[in-house]
Chains A and B, each alone.
Chain A
C-alpha cells in the first residue's frame, strides 16, 4: 500500500502533472464562477485535449477541473446572488447576505476553506473505500450488473429534475437511442438504415459534447436577445479574506459533518451536488445553536453547503471507478475521459492501472489544497471574471465543440453527431427535460442489455437467475421502489 502511494506521489509531482492540476484548477474556477457554464460542460469540452496526454495527466486535469468548478460556483453565489453552478444554489442563502453586510471577502475565504476541506475529506473516503469496493465488484456477475444498471437507470431518472415523467422519458429516450448499432450479443445491426457509420452506435464523446456544450452554447446565444442588460454590477470584494483561526475551529465539526453527508450522497447515483448542498444546509441548521442567524449571513450556513457540494466530487467517483455507474452527469463525462484512454472501471482498474488511479486520488487531494490557496489569494481577481458577458462565450464554446469532436477521431461524421445532439439537448433542456438521464441511459442501457443477454446464456434462459442471487434481487427491489416512490409521494401531496 505504501509504495502505491509513493508511486502516486512521484507521478503527481512531475512538471506536466503539477501544471495540469494548476491549470485545471484555474480553468475550473473560471468556468465554475461564470453563471451559465457548468462543470459538465467544462469537462466535456476538455476531453479532446486530454486525449493526446498521458492517461494520468489527462485524468488529473479532469479531476482538478471537476473539484475547482464545483467550488467556484460559490463565487457568483456570494457576490451576485446567482449560483455559478446549480450546486451552489444553497450557498446563496447565507453567502449573499454576508456580501451585503460588507463581508464578501470573509465569505469567499470561508467558502474556499470549507470547499477544500470537504473535497479533501471526500478524497480520503474515496481512496479508502474505492479499492475495497473494487474488489467487491468481482462478486458482480452478469445478473448483478443487470440489476445494478436497472437500479441506476430508475434512480437517476426519477430523481433528476422537477417532473418525474420528464426524467423517466429522458432516460427512456437514452435507452432507445443506445439501441442504434450492432446488438451486443449477435452483432445484428439495428436502426442503422444501411449506414455503416451507425453500426457501432453513437460515439460517447461527441454525444456528450453536443448535449452539454453545444446545447449550452445555443442557449447562451439565443437567450442573449431577451437579456439585453449590460454586465452585472459587482460589489467590490471588501474585508479580510483570511478568517480567524477561532472561527475556523468553530466551523470544523459542521464542515466535517457536511463533508460526510456530501460524500455519502455523492455515492448514490442520481442525487447529485445540489440536493447534497441543501441537505447539509438543513442539517447544519438543525444542529446549530443560532438557528435564527441562518439565511441572514450565518458562517455555518455558508460552510455547510460548500463543504457538502465539494465532497460530492469524491463520492461520485466511487461507484464510477468501481462499478462503472456514473453518479451524476459530471461523472458520466468523467467516464468518457477514462474510456478514451482504454481504462475500464472495476477491480482491474485498481490493479493493472493502479498507478494511474492512485495518482488521480493524490492529485485530487492536491487540487483541493490549491482550491483553498487560490480561493483565498485570488478572490479579488476572480471576482473580475464575473463581468464577462456569457453571450460572448456562446460562439466560442460552439467552435471549441466543433474542433473538439473532430479532434478525437479526425473525422467529420463526429461533428455532425455532436451538432445533432446539441440540437436535441437544447430543445429538451428548454422544455424542462433533465439531460443527465439521457447520458446515463446511453451508458447503462447497453450495459443492461448485454448483461441481460449474458445472464440468459449462462442460465440457459432461466429467468429466475435474477431472483435467486442476493445482490441482484436487492438491486431489483430497490429499482422498483425508486421507480414508484415519486408517484406515491405525488399522490400523497395531492391528497393532503
Chain B
C-alpha cells in the first residue's frame, strides 16, 4: 500500500518536475552564470546586491508582458543579478503603477511603463503622475495606423476626411479599448480635424481587426503587427501612419505630416525607476539594458512575438513621455 501510494505521488510530481525542466532548461543555465557574475561586483559602486523586481502593471500574457519578461530574462546576464517580473494588474494599470511609483528609489523595484502612466493620472484619481517615474530605457515604440476596410466608401485619407465631414457620426472605427492609446488617437483625430466619428471599443486589437476585416465596422486605429496578415491578404488597407516618417513595412502609406494632420502617436513601452533614484544606478541600468537589447537572442524573441523594437535613452524617452502628456492633457479640458 505504502509503495503504491508513493509510486502514484512520484508519478504526479515527477511529471511536473520533468516538464518544467524541459521548459526551463535555458533559464537554469542562466541561473548558473548569474551566480558566477554575482561574485565579481562592480568596483565603482555597490549595485546590484540583491534581485531586482520589475512591476508589470498589466496581466500576464500579451505584448506588454512579453516586453518586460523577455528583457528581464536576458538582462540578468548583463545586470548581474536575477530579475523578477511581478504582475500587479488591475485598474487599467493603476495598481501596479501606484506600487511602482511609491517603491523605494533604490533601483531594486522598477516598473514597466506605457503611455497609461500618463493617461491614468489624467483621467483617474491616483496618487502619482508621469513625473513619479524616472525613465531608464524605451525598448518599444510602435506607430499607429489608420486602417480601413477596402469596401468602405473611402480609400485614402482625403476621401476619408471628405466622407467624415459629409456624414457625421456614420464612420465606425474600432479601438483596442476605452482608455487606450488608439482610442485617444481617434479622439485626437476627431478633435483636430473637427469630424464626428463613432468609436467602437473592443476587448483588444485582435477583435477590432477581425470586425474591420469582416466589414462590420469601417476600420480601426492599431499597430502594424495587429493587422499584418489582413494587410497582406488585402482585407484591410492602411491609409495613414501617425508618424513623421513612412514605414518600411508599408511604404505606400502617407504619414500624418504629409496629410497635414498634426498627430504623432504610437505605443511606447520601456522601463523606469521611481523618481529620485540615484542617477548612477539609472545610468548603470540603462547601459546594461541597452546591451541586452542588442543581444541577438532577445531580438529574435521580440521579432517572433511581433513586437517592434525601438531604442531611446533616458533623455529622449523623457521627452516622448512629456509629449504624450501634453497631447492627452487636451482631453481633460473637454
Contacts and interface: CB of A to CB of B under 8 A. Distances in A.
A385 B229 CA distance: 48
B187 interface: no
B49 interface: no
Contacts of B87: 408-411
B88 interface: yes
A91 B157 CA distance: 64
Contacts of A196: 90-91, 94-95, 98
Contacts of A388: 4-5, 8-9
A351 B94 CA distance: 34
A256 interface: no
Interface in B1-44: 1, 4-5, 7-9, 11-12, 15-16, 18-20, 22-25, 27
Interface string A182-218: 1011110000000011111001000000000000000
Contact of B19 (A23, A187, A454): A23
A384 interface: yes
B117 interface: no
Nearest to B12: A30
A30 B23 contact: no
B178 A340 contact: no
Contacts of A187: 92, 177-179
Interface in B235-274: 235
Contacts of B25: 16
A450 B178 CA distance: 11
B210 interface: yes
Interface string A381-392: 000110111001
A354 B211 CA distance: 19
A427 interface: no
A231 B200 CA distance: 59
B105 interface: no
A411 B84 CA distance: 12
A184 B201 contact: yes
Interface string A411-448: 10100000000000000000000000000000000110
Given A15-B22, A19-B22, A411-B87, A137 B60 contact: no
Given A186-B178, A196-B91, A457 B200 contact: yes
B60 A51 contact: yes
B59 interface: yes
Contact of A49 (B1, B19, B207, B214): B19
B65 interface: yes
Nearest to A65: B15
A139 B206 contact: no
B204 A30 contact: no
Contacts of B201: 184-185, 450, 454
A299 interface: no
Given A140-B214, A387-B4, A27 B15 contact: yes
A342 interface: yes
A493 interface: no
A27 B228 CA distance: 38
A64 to B, nearest CB: 10
A198 B95 CA distance: 10
B11 A458 contact: no
Contacts of A139: 214
A450 B174 CA distance: 13
Contacts of A147: none
Contacts of B27: 52
Interface in A450-489: 450, 454, 457-458, 460
B196 to A, nearest CB: 12
B57 to A, nearest CB: 11
Interface stretch (A3-11, A53-61, A99-107, A159-167): A53-61
Contacts of B18: 19, 23
A278 B158 CA distance: 62
B296 interface: no
A26 interface: yes
Contacts of B200: 142, 454, 457-458
Contacts of A199: 90-92, 94-95
A61 B19 contact: yes
Interface size class of A (residues with CB under 8 A): 35 or more
Contacts of A20: 19, 22-23
A176 interface: no
B66 interface: yes
Nearest to B210: A346
A200 B207 contact: no
B89 interface: yes
B86 A410 contact: yes
B303 to A, nearest CB: 14
A339 interface: yes
Contact of A410 (B84, B198, B207, B209): B84
B135 to A, nearest CB: 24
Given A199-B90, A388-B4, A351 B229 contact: yes
B171 to A, nearest CB: 11
Contacts of B216: 140-142, 458
A352 interface: yes
A30 B4 CA distance: 13
A470 to B, nearest CB: 14
Given A19-B22, A409-B59, A410-B84, A142 B12 contact: no
B167 to A, nearest CB: 12
B169 A460 contact: yes
B264 to A, nearest CB: 25
Contacts of B202: 450, 454
Nearest to B88: A411
Contacts of B11: 26-27, 30, 385
Given A57-B23, A388-B9, A409-B88, 4 more contacts: A23-B15, A30-B15, A52-B27, A454-B211
24 contacts: A23-B22, A30-B11, A52-B20, A52-B24, A54-B23, A61-B19, A140-B216, A196-B91, A199-B92, A199-B95, A200-B59, A342-B65, A344-B204, A346-B206, A346-B210, A348-B206, A352-B306, A387-B5, A392-B5, A392-B9, A408-B60, A410-B86, A457-B200, A458-B200
Interface of A: 15-16, 19-20, 23-24, 26-27, 30, 49, 51-54, 57-58, 61, 137-142, 182, 184-187, 196-200, 203, 231, 339-342, 344, 346-348, 351-352, 384-385, 387-389, 392, 396, 408-411, 413, 446-447, 450, 454, 457-458, 460
10 smallest beta-carbon distances between A and B, as pairs: A141-B216, A409-B87, A199-B91, A138-B214, A342-B62, A388-B8, A53-B23, A187-B178, A351-B229, A196-B91
